[in-house]
Amino acid sequence: GEDVKPFTPEKAKEIVMSLQQPAVFCNMVGDWPALQWNAKYLSAVLDGKTIQFRLGQKTVDLVPQFETRCSYVQATLPEFLAWSCGHPCLSGPFSCYEYSKYWAYADYKYIARIFEDKPEVFQDIRWSDFGFPGRSGKESTLWIGSEGANTPCHLDSYGCNLVLQVQGRKKWHLFPPGDTSFLYPTRIPYEESSIFSKVNVANPDLKQFPKFRNTTAHVVTLSPGQVLLIPRHWWHYVESIDPITVSINSWIELDADHEARVEEAITRMLVCAIKSAENPSDGDCWLNPTEVEATSHEINLQYLNKAVSAYFKCQKASVSEQASSSSTGAEQRTGASCKRRKREASCEREGCRLPTQEFGFSTFKAENLQEIPFGPHLIQVLPQTRETSLMGAAAVESDGRDLLHGNEGGHIGKLHCSREQLVMSNDCETPAHQMDSDGNPNTSLTALSTNDLLDCLVNPRVISLVARLLLERTSV
C-alpha cells in the first residue's frame, strides 16, 4: 500500500548508525504532519511570537561570514515573509536591511522552546520511523531562511545528523573527516561542539588556503520530503537556494560522544584561559553568540572532571552490559542528545558502549550491513570531480546509480604520529611562500597572534592526543 515505507525502523536505524558516507532517504516521511510546516503555516502557529534572525550580506566574500560577523534582529514570521518578498520595509526590524543585499536566517531554534506552549506539535515529527522511538519534535531544531542564508563550513563534535527538508531547497557541501587538515580548522569563534573552517568553501581563497585544493567535496541539493544523513565528523557548508527554506533536524547521540566530551572540555579550558587573558581592548569577538559567556577556569575544570568521570562510568557500564548481552541478547539503545548541550557529561542511557575503533562511530559495526541498499529510496551523495570543485562549476548531483566512493583522505586524530610530525604537520607548518631564499621563516611577516597559537594548540589532532593521554593517566 501507499503507507508502506521502503525501510523498516530497524533497517533505517541500522543504516543511520553504520553508514559512514552521506546519503539521502526518500519516501520515508510522506505521512509526517511536519511536511506542512512551511513558513506560512508556522507563522499562524506561532501567532505573532518573535524569534531571532541572523542577517548576513549576500556579497560573496573570501572569508566565512561567521556568526560573530552577522547582525541580529527579533522579528515575527509575518515580518520576515513580507521582507523576503522584496517589499520595501520602511519600519520594523528589517527596515535597515535591504533584501537585495542581505539574507536572514532563523537558525538553530529548539522546537521544544519556541513551541513550549504547544507541545502537541512535537508529534508532527516522527523520528521513530528511523528507528528512534520516542524521538519527536521535542528533540529537534528548526531552521527558517531566505535565499542565500548559510551556515559556515564546520563539523559537529557530537553525534550524527538527520535533516528533513520541508520547504524550498538547500545545497549541502560535505567533506569527509579525512579532509580536516585541508579545511584549516579553527576554534575561533569558539562554540562548544563546533569546529569551524577558515575557508569560505563557496569562494575559496586558494592563495591563503592552498591545501583546500586537496579536498573532496560531496555536493547534494536537498528537496522537500527528503532526509539527509550526515555521518559523524563530516564537514558541511549549507546554503538556502530558494526564496524561503524550512528544515528540521535532530542530532543522534553516539557512543564516541563520551570521549568527544572530554576533548571538548579540554578545548574549552584552553580557549577560555588563553583568550580571557588577552587585553579586552583588542576587540576580538572570539566567543560565538551561542555561547552565553566565557566560563571561569574553575567551572571548566569541573566540566572536565565530569566528562572524564562519565567516560569511565560508561566504560564500566559497557563491560557489564557486554557480559549481560552475551547471555540475554539485549537490544542496544541510543539515547537523545543536543548538539550544543553545555557542561553535561552524565551518562543516563542504558547500554552505553565505548567505541570499538580508534574513532568508533556508533554502536553498530559496519559489518552489520550485509549490503547497503542504495537505490531510489537511499541515494548516495557522491564526490565532485576535483576539476569541477575548483572551477566553481555547477554542483554534481547524486543520482544513486554509482557505487559509493570510499573516503580518500584517511582519518583525523591519528595517535601514532611522532613529535616532529605534530610540530611540522599540515596545520602548523610554515608555508613555502613565507620562507626567505635561504629556507628560513620570513621575519618580515606579521607577528603571530593568540589565534595563530590556538589554531595549533587546539587542533583536533592535538586535542585528541591530549585527551587520550589524560584518560590513560586517570585510568592508572
Q: What is the pLDDT of residues 308-326, one digit of tens each?
A: 999 999 988 887 777 776 5
* Stretch among 112-121, 254-263, 334-343, 364-373 having the lowest mean pLDDT: 334-343
Assigned domain for 388 exists: no
Task: Kindly list the distances between the CA atom of residue 206 and the CA atoms of 171, 182, 309, 437, 473, in Å, as whole numbers in the listed order.
Answer: 22, 11, 43, 23, 42
Is residue 128 within 8 A of residue 250, CB to CB? The reply is no
Domain that holds residue 273: 255-319+459-475
Predicted confidence at residue 165, as pLDDT, reads: 98
Burial of 448 (0-12, 13-18, 19+ CB in 10 A): exposed
Could you tell me if residue 47 is inside a domain? yes
Provide the residue type at 219 as one letter. V
Beta strands in 168-243 (DSSP E): 170-175, 185-186, 194-197, 218-222, 227-230, 235-240
Tell me: do 185 and 104 sit in the same domain: yes
CA dihedral 373, 376, 380, 386 (to 10 degrees): 140
Domain boundary among 220, 254, 288: 254
**Cα–Cα distances in Å, from 24 out to 18, 73, 132, 164, 341?**
14, 33, 18, 10, 26
pLDDT tens, 378-407?
Answer: 999 999 876 555 544 333 344 433 333 333
What pLDDT does residue 339 have?
A: 55
Based on the domain organization, do 272 and 172 belong to the same domain?
no
Does the structure show a pLDDT above 90 at 341? no
Local structure of residue 47 (DSSP, 8 states): T
Q: What is the CATH number of the domain that holds 92?
A: 2.60.120.650
Average pLDDT, the chain: 83
Least-confidence region, from 57-61, 113-117, 212-216, 229-233: 57-61
In this structure, the answer to whether residues 80 and 170 fall within a common structural domain is yes
CA distance 139 to 142: 10
Q: Write the DSSP symbol of residue 149.
A: -
pLDDT band for position 292 (50/70/90)?
confident
The predicted pLDDT at position 75 comes to 97
Instruction: Check whether 17 has a pLDDT greater than 80.
Output: yes
Q: How many Å separate Cα 307 from the centre of its chain? A: 21
Q: Are residues 28 and 166 in the same domain?
A: yes
182 and 268 in a single domain? The answer is no
Using one digit for the tens of pLDDT, what is the confidence trace for 169-222?
Answer: 999 999 999 999 999 999 999 999 999 999 999 999 999 999 999 999 999 999
Last residue of a domain, one of 232, 254, 276: 254
For residue 382, tell me if it sits in a domain: no
141: in domain: yes
pLDDT at 449 over 70: yes
pLDDT at 123: 98
Task: Give the predicted TM-score (pTM) of the model.
Answer: 0.81
Q: Out of 153-157, 260-264, 284-288, 361-365, pick the least confident.
A: 361-365
Provide the b/e sequence for 335-347 (b: ≥16 CB within 10 Å): bbbbbbeebebeb
Total tally of structural domains belonging to the chain: 2
Confirm whether 445 is domain-assigned: no
Give the per-residue pLDDT at 87. 78
Cα-Cα-Cα-Cα dihedral sign, residues 128, 131, 135, 137: negative
Task: Answer whether 149's CB lies under 8 Å from 80's CB.
Answer: no
Residue 418: inside a domain:
no
Q: What pLDDT sits at residue 126?
A: 98
Specify whether 142 is located in the same domain as 107. Answer: yes
Last residue within a domain, chosen from 197, 222, 254: 254
Asked if residue 197 and residue 101 are part of one domain, the reply reads yes
